[in-house]
Amino acid sequence: MFDRLARSWTLVKASAAVLRSDKELLLFPVISGIATLLVAASFAVPVIGLRLFEGGEIGPLGAVVGFLFYLCQYFVIFFFNTALVGAAMIRLEGGDPTVADGLRIARSKLGVILGYAAIAATVGLLLKAASERAGAFGKILIGLLGMAWTVGTFLVVPILVTRDVGPIDAVKESMTLLKRTWGENVAGNVGIGLAFGLLTTAVVIVSIAMVIGAAALGGGKLALVAVVLAVIAVASVAVIQAALSGVYSAAVYRYAVDGQAPQGFAGDQLQAAFRPK
């Protein structure tokens, strides 16, 4: 446990060093979050109006709408993640990327991003449908399959950014790179998730105390201000985590392909982010 925490902290520090070099990278997850909320709101109207998911049964129209929702959400997420990773690649090569550079890279990959979004949406819907019909043990197994998919596709976006390949080939190459370099015991994502999970928990606890204190001292208006500040604090942590994850995936891909740590990362720091078999 302590070794994992130490590796997580080392990983966060190394990623943060690159992120501090270009704080504009934080804008990509912010824009992505706003866009996904808009997509969700646009789908909420027909879903509620047509009562597609009432009664616990999903008909053909509901299945189509559900797939389109997944597709649009994944497309938005992958588009801005591609922009983030593309800009991070420029930074790791010693350049000085702008938001426009990242968006330009993402726009040049629209077709493959859409294809990968369709694959991810299909996998997501299949796992969700199987989970709804499975028992307790089946849900655990499906959850593990979902984790395996996440780990296996960890390097897909960096591959799409740097290579002229289709989404299926990118998924295959991502799985090959992870298996060849570190096997299946990837601890980098776990480290980031653990570190920021603890940070988010701390922020939530402090926020709850702040809201309670504000309500006791100043009534409803002050409590509302405290709630808004709490939401901003939690959202800020999520934005930083997303940006760090993007920088990390770009660096890991460079390290996996070139065998050398990119600028801003020490080789032993990246190696320490993974638990050997």
| Full residue range of the structural domain in which residue 188 is found | 2-272
Which parts of the chain have pLDDT scores under 70? 1-12, 49-62, 180-189, 259-277
pLDDT of residue 57: 58
pLDDT of residue 217: 77
pLDDT of residue 51: 67
Q: Residues 253-262, buried b or exposed e (16+ Cβ, 10 A)? A: bbbbbeeebb
Is 277 within a domain?
Answer: no
Is 93 within a domain?
Answer: yes
CA distance 16 to 199: 15
85 burial level (CB within 10 Å; 0-12, 13-18, 19+): buried
Number of structural domains, the chain?
1
pLDDT of residue 187: 63
pLDDT of residue 275: 47
pLDDT of residue 37: 92
Element (H, E) at 253: helix 188-258
pLDDT of residue 62: 66
Supply the pTM of this predicted model.
0.84
CA distance 206 to 89: 36
pLDDT of residue 3: 58
